[in-house]
Structure 1
Amino acid sequence: MHSPEPARARISVIGAGPGGLACARILQRHGLAVTVHERDPGPDARDQGGTLDLHADNGQIALREAGLLDEFFELARPEGQEMRQMDPAGRIVAHQVPEAGELFKPEIDRGRLRDLLLDSLLPGTVHWGRALDKVGGPADGPRQLHFADGTTVEADLVIGADGAFSRVRRAVSSAVPEYTGVSFLEAWFSDVENRHPEIAELVGPGSAAAADGDRGLFAQRNGGGHIRVYVIRRVPADWTTVSGLDADDTDGIRALVLDEYAHWSPRMRRMITDNEGRYVDRPIFALPVPHAWEHHPTVTLLGDAAHLMPPLGVGVNLAMLDAAELALALAHAATVDDAVRTYEKTMLARSTDTARALEGGAEHLLAADIPDFDAQPQG
């Protein structure tokens, strides 16, 4: 099949995360039609996660191409760039405070970023409740998208922006994410200035981290008076089952973790004991390095679907840069095939270099050394 002109192509994005939505927004700004399919039943179906720092040299580039950079700055929190490194006693051992007017990597809650991108799209762009089962059809197209509800959609280009366990990835690659050996246990705190003033003071307006070589804590200020804390541990992926616990046994999990952090100060242990509601287990996975695939003119990947790495502040930034470069390639290429080749040539080289630099990086989150403040967890 001859590859169509992008202006005549049926383009389907799978996944309504920041990368997929940014790609759709930039395509629409250049007059290209696109449909986004998202498995969630609606935009408010679930919590969108913590806070993100969008960097001037990647994430903000995508927002500029999307025509949303000024609106982003209105919503972002520049003060969130402050970072504190502590020891297990709660003493600050390193402190980075942004200069006045610093906007290199301001923070924004995932939910607010998603709403910004959703509101910028043409009505009806996102089709909710569309869980992809598989991508069928010949490699040169057209492709068939088979959804869990039994429906099928035909597409000339399928863009996999569907995250770590991407269904689209299976159409071009046999690679699967591997457990890194490190897991995050997420705890939430709300109205922190009134309900958790000691934790609010400890964390400050941005982020605070501590580690002892075997375990760590990472706390992030979110918007609306919220803080999320990530308890970072080297454990089996099924550690709750091995310990005879389940995800809803909050008291049992708390007791187990408190025992592991017994030598940490009571001040620091408040970030384990005082959480509101249940913990959320987040084992950290990564794709093998390097991850590449044989070119297909009708399927490509961006973000975690293409290059899942440890959460060290690059994931969403790379996903949005991928989105911008792919959308711009489609806007300026003669055929969809040409655009995909152009995009993948740059993206695969960049992601391979970054993935190699971050390989094993989840272990760095447990190191007691003075940190590289540019390599911190991303919520």
Structure 2
Amino acid sequence: MTIAIVGAGLGGLTLARVLHVHGIEAVVYERESSRHARGQGGMLDIHSGQRALREAGLVDGFHAIARAEGQDMRLLEPDGTLLWQEDTPEDAPLLRPEVDRADLRDLLLDSLPEGTVRWGRAFASADGGVLRFADGGSATHDLLVGADGAGSRVRALLTDARPAHIGRHVVELGIPDIDRTRPDLAAMVGRGNYWVLGDGLSLAAQRNGDGRVRIGLGFHRTAEDWIATSGIPFDDPAAAKARLVDLLAGWDPRFTALIAACDDVVVPRPITALPIGLTWPSTPGVTLLGDAAHLMPPVGEGANMALLDGASLGLALAAHPDDHPTAVAEYEREMFERTAAAARMSADVHELLMSPDAARKMLAFFQPG
């Protein structure tokens, strides 16, 4: 059986690794030209996904790169009131450690035999057991796995569903080498996550393993065309930062200082999601995993679900090596149920963040009862 995986993200690589552990070969086709072709984003909170890394034989390697202190959390209101602070003890178990996405991806890539990932192969179409790539090349397959993310092109082979805007935009910024350049702000943010939740506007700062603090300004209850209509000059980073500072009028000056200290990388992103509980009729020869299958609001579940998808499908294929339709159907039943629950929870947290009294509701979330 020839297994073709489209997309060298966390889910696709986990699938390839679990198959390799069980003596099954697969090929991963990735549109990017190399593992370093672009940045891989910030830190990930890996909790349930650790089960997948155990199946992949990589949990010890994961623990070596994970940051326990990344579990620290501070929650504030816009006026500077500190509502919640959680500092992780030095001997705390790695229940929800943070890890740099690039480091986790490198761990998975380095665990695969040379040549498993074919770089620079952008998926164009598939028909009759033949993959076709944007460069005119082709490859045969018995099973095609779409692990190609939110904008998946493989998804169209199974469903007409597409990600839809869910009323929120995030403007991403960052402060490089913050301990050296702004030790005062470094001390304020701390070692992990720093949240300020207001009415219609939020700020999330996160310490990365490379010394950069990534900052996301969330604009809630926005229209789909907000980037064009917001009046923020995103094509002029300095002016965009100045406008963002203006939009935080009335917030504690420490928060506007964070924005002013950012470099000139200013990236606005719409937040989209697939319908909760999306399914499709099991189709021999093709399936999906990760964001291609169940894109959900970014509240800490997506990467974990992708890792579990990869392990679940890999184990099903190992259990039915000569019957991939049965393996795919078994995997999809488990995946549909598991990810629907995660998507519902993610949507609930997203609605909490969008509420007028988000900070107090989030405090209740952290302090149930």
TM-score, normalisation: structure 1: 0.91
Aligned runs of 1:2-21 on 2, under 5 Å? Answer: 9-21=1-13
CA distance in 2, matches of 1:336, 1:240: 44
CA distance in 2, matches of 1:46, 1:373: 38
1:42 match: secondary structure? coil
**1:252 — aligned with what?**
239
Q: Which runs of 5+ in 1 are unaligned?
A: 1-8, 138-142
Q: Return 274-283 or 12-21, whichever deviates more.
A: 274-283
Matched, 1:135 2:126: yes
Letter in 1 for 2:43: T
2:52·2:311 contact (CA, 8 Å) conserved in 1? yes
2:232·2:243 contact (CA, 8 Å) conserved in 1? no
1:16 match: secondary structure? coil
1:160·1:166 contact (CA, 8 Å) conserved in 2? yes
Matched, 1:105 2:93: no
Following TM superposition, where does structure 1 have runs of at least 4 consecutive aligned residues deviating by more than 3 angstroms? 243-247, 372-375
Letter in 1 for 2:108: L
1:86·1:209 contact (CA, 8 Å) conserved in 2? yes
**1:81 — aligned with what?**
71
In the TM superposition, what is the alpha-carbon distance from 1:135 to its structure 2 partner?
2.4
**1:151 — aligned with what?**
137
Matched, 1:47 2:47: no
Taking a change above 3 Å as real, the CA distance of residues 92 and 372 of structure 1, as seen in their structure-2 partners, is: closer
1:23·1:324 contact (CA, 8 Å) conserved in 2? yes
**1:343 — aligned with what?**
331
CA distance in 2, matches of 1:98, 1:184: 28
**2:183 — aligned with what?**
197
1:368 match: secondary structure? helix
In the TM superposition, what is the alpha-carbon distance from 1:89 to its structure 2 partner?
2.7
**2:82 — aligned with what?**
92
Letter in 2 for 1:62: A
In the TM superposition, what is the alpha-carbon distance from 1:153 to its structure 2 partner?
1.4
**2:346 — aligned with what?**
358
Letter in 2 for 1:33: E
CA distance in 2, matches of 1:369, 1:245: 29
2:84·2:363 contact (CA, 8 Å) conserved in 1? no
Letter in 1 for 2:195: A
Letter in 1 for 2:309: D
**2:274 — aligned with what?**
287
Q: Which runs of 5+ in 2 are unaligned?
A: none
Report how many residues are paired: 360
In the TM superposition, what is the alpha-carbon distance from 1:373 to its structure 2 partner?
9.5
In the TM superposition, what is the alpha-carbon distance from 1:147 to its structure 2 partner?
1.0
CA distance in 1, matches of 2:365, 2:185: 23
1:189·1:276 contact (CA, 8 Å) conserved in 2? yes
TM-score, normalisation: structure 2: 0.93
**What is the aligned-residue identity percentage?**
44
CA distance in 2, matches of 1:242, 1:337: 48
Q: 1:121 aligns with which of 112, 115, 134?
A: 112
**2:15 — aligned with what?**
23
Which deviations, in whole Å up to 9, do the C-alpha atoms of 1:59-105 show, x marking residues without a partner? Answer: 11111111111111111100100111011133321112234232101
In the TM superposition, what is the alpha-carbon distance from 1:363 to its structure 2 partner?
3.6
CA distance in 2, matches of 1:52, 1:214: 25
Q: 2:254 aligns with which of 243, 267, 275?
A: 267
